[in-house]
Structure 1
Amino acid sequence: MSRTISSTALAMVDRLSKGLVDLVPQIGSEDFPRLLAEVIKEFVPSDELTLILFEDKPVFLVSEKTELIGSQSVDMYLAGAYLLDPFYRASVDLKKSQFFTYDELVPDGFRQSEFYKQYLVKIGLEDECGYLIIFPGGQFLHLSVGHGKGSEARLNPSELQLLESLTPLIDMLCQQHWGEQLSNPLNRQLDQALANFGSSKLTEREGTVIRMVLQGYSTSAIADKLFISPGTVRVHLRNSYKKLDIGSQVDLHNLFMGALMQFENYEGGDPLEGFF
């Protein structure tokens, strides 16, 4: 019984073959991250494609729009705002490389969060998907494909399925390129800075509530997760704002970032201690 291969499938195999012919010889070279991004763009449209390597600290390897965010926002992201990035949060417990869409990761109030407004909105991104490539030493690569609001480049289900199917290949190529280069274990010390934020000034429950607000959880989602009423969440939030002398989520985000940026090397405890 004969089988016919569609022209679409043949064209895709052709693009993949040509991309790998250019990419594979560059494993280990400085051009590899850029060429990897080019291969991805051969398969799906995007408004922004970014590679961030998280080793001892995060480093932008490829980014087409970081200049639109501004140097201050980039500095803040690298100094610790990445702790609030849903892709980073997903990496904490991830054991193997995986493809994600933002909708799979973000809390229900994420698009009202200051992280979303400070970083994604400023560069015009509304939707994002990408890979988390996990290395043996705990380091990871975030390869993201971003799309603007109303963009013609936004991906359909078939394109998302295609990207997901490429996960083993992308993972293998990245392991080959970075596997022997990564000598520094991932510094997760700042994870404790988020976990301890506000602990010297707030009750345990108040601290939990404001950390969830920072990550983009809505009042109703916080209530559901903590098994309390939305009214109780609002009381905890009001009391926390009063103790921290702030009045909004913008103030809370700025306080968190200000506390983090005072450290060259965070060594534990509430980042707010000594900040006021």
Structure 2
Amino acid sequence: MDIAVLGALDVKEHGVSVTPTAPKPRQVLALLALHADQVVPVAALVEELWGERPPRSARTTLQTYILQLRDLIAAALPAEDPRTSKNVLVTSPGGYLLSTSAGASDVREFERLAGLGYRAMDAGDFTGAARELRDALALWTGTALADVQTGPQLEMHCRRLEETRLCALDQRIEADLRLGRHRELLGELTVLVSRYRTHENLHAQFMLALHRSGRRSEALEAYQRLRNALVRELGLEPSAALRRLQRSILMASPTTPAPTLHSTGVGTGDRLSHVG
């Protein structure tokens, strides 16, 4: 079974889609797919579908959705496959498990490539880090589960996935900056800082890319826009690291080497949760 959730939901068995069109069975499949090869408790599935006030018929209705998914899986299994749909969508004590039988999962592949990228960064291999992280990010075709109606469980997982994507993106941009690709990054960073108005590290990277491209005044303007957004939306001033970066750009002469994120103390962990 091949699973894709980093964009539209797409679950296939032997190349045949088993993704239902009805909203609630799609939710069930999406939650099972996110936890592929792990048991998803019935309580989690019920909460996803109906929140804190499930109907009395919740468990019976859930069983109906499971049967619908098994029908789709059975239709996709070739005659020579010894498995049945119950071997793919397994009933376990307290829940259900979607067995991939070593199939592909875009989340697992993203995590594998991102891990290679992080280790390359730690080793100072910025070329390798940029390559691995770029390949990891290329697996995203849109917002996670973009075409699935989400309840509390899926909302939580989508937020977690978005944070992992932002962390990988942050590190890939840092690797590119270390490789001197500041001009190539300007277009991408312009879009990102407009989308994430209070994300400090993205703004720091944008300021550096502008400064290193000879656009010092625009770098200082980017800082001011960030400060205004932080004060207005979060009631916060920029971090001490961002203020140091702003001062270093403000005081730099045309012949002064451009500052680095490392030298100003701005790093991946700085206010990554401040996104807007």
Instruction: Pick the TM interval, shorter chain.
Output: under 0.3
Q: TM-score, normalised by structure 2?
A: 0.27
Task: Report which of the two structures shows the higher radius of gyration computed on alpha carbons.
Answer: 2
* TM-score (normalizing by structure 1): 0.27
**Higher-strand-fraction structure:** 1
Q: Which structure dedicates a bigger proportion of its chain to helix? A: 2
